[in-house]
Amino acid sequence: MSIPHCFLALSFLLLFSCHLLNGLEDTEFGHAIDRKLLGLKRKEKLSHFKFYWHDIVGGRNPTSVAVVPPTLKLNTTTAFGLVNMIDNPLTLGPELSSKLVGKAQGFYASASQSEIDLLMAMNFAFSEGKYNGSTITILGRNCVFNKVREMPVIGGSGLFRFARGYAEARTHWFNLKSGDATVEYNVYVMHY
Ligand SMILES: *[C@@H]1O[C@H](CO)[C@@H](O)[C@H](O)[C@H]1NC(C)=O
Ligand SMILES: *[C@@H]1O[C@H](CO)[C@@H](O)[C@H](O)[C@H]1NC(C)=O
């Protein structure tokens, strides 16, 4: 069989097995339901959120704490292996004293041996208005010295059930001495 034929045959086989699986989808622990049962009759909407994320590592009341030190076995200047647990304030304006809209809870970890490149795993836990108690979950790559870093929104809770989208991070301010940083986040999220 030629390669295109082979590919076609494989596609049919895959399609066919998908149909087989669909036929078997009703089990004791899983079955299809009407989306209206979850109040999903409305169309998905797109929302934009803008706030500032404060990484406070210095001073008496840090919100970002190193819980795993960088690995000493490797000679890198990228702090490879470092893990910081965060409970960072999210504010409306760039000043820490401006209105608090939520917290970014989770961790970031240094994931590159050749540049400063973080794995971000965090929930934006909102505490303001109708979003109080709802969360947006981010999991992505953050090359902190790039002007704009894009990270996926991989889900959410409350008003953000079934959420998907992305966040753009731009460093607003960075204190080389203390290590504190303020980062502007623009989050674009599809949700019901
Ligand atoms: C790390 O690398 C630098 C530059 O290659 C070198 O000067 C330094 O001695 C190394 N440090 C260790 C602990 O190996
Ligand atoms: C958010 O919800 C919590 C728990 O229900 C409540 O204690 C708090 O006052 C609410 N905050 C705002 C700003 O509405």
Closest-lying ligand 2 atom to the alpha carbon of residue 128: 13
Q: Which overall architecture, per CATH, does domain 44-191 show?
A: Beta Barrel (2.40)
Ligand showing the shortest atom-to-Cα distance for residue 73: 1
Residue with tokens 């909407």: 45
Q: What rounded mean pLDDT belongs to the chain? A: 90
> 46 CA distance to ligand 2 centroid (A)?
25
- The full set of domain ranges for the chain reads 3-29, 44-191
**What's the pLDDT score for residue 139?**
98
Residues sharing a CB contact under 8 Å with residue 100, sequence separation 6 or more, in sequence order: 89, 90, 91, 127, 128
Q: Of all residues in the chain, what percent carry a pLDDT higher than 70?
A: 87
> 117 CA distance to ligand 1 centroid (A)?
20
pLDDT in tens, 11-23: 655 555 545 455 5
pLDDT at 115 over 70: yes
Q: Is 150 in the pocket of ligand 2 (CB under 6 A)?
A: no
Q: Is 77 in the pocket of ligand 2 (CB under 6 A)?
A: no
Nearest alpha carbon, ligand 2 atom 13: 128
Distance between terminal CA atoms of the chain? 47
**What's the pLDDT score for residue 2?**
59
Q: Which of 75-79, 108-112, 136-140 has the weakest average pLDDT?
A: 75-79
Cα separations in angstroms, 58 against 63, 66, 84, 153: 9, 11, 13, 28
> 77 CA distance to ligand 1 centroid (A)?
9
Separation of alpha carbons 19 and 54, rounded Å = 49
Residues sharing a CB contact under 8 Å with residue 175, sequence separation 6 or more, in sequence order: 58, 181
Q: Is 128 in the pocket of ligand 2 (CB under 6 A)?
A: yes
Confidence of residue 4 (pLDDT cuts 50, 70, 90): low
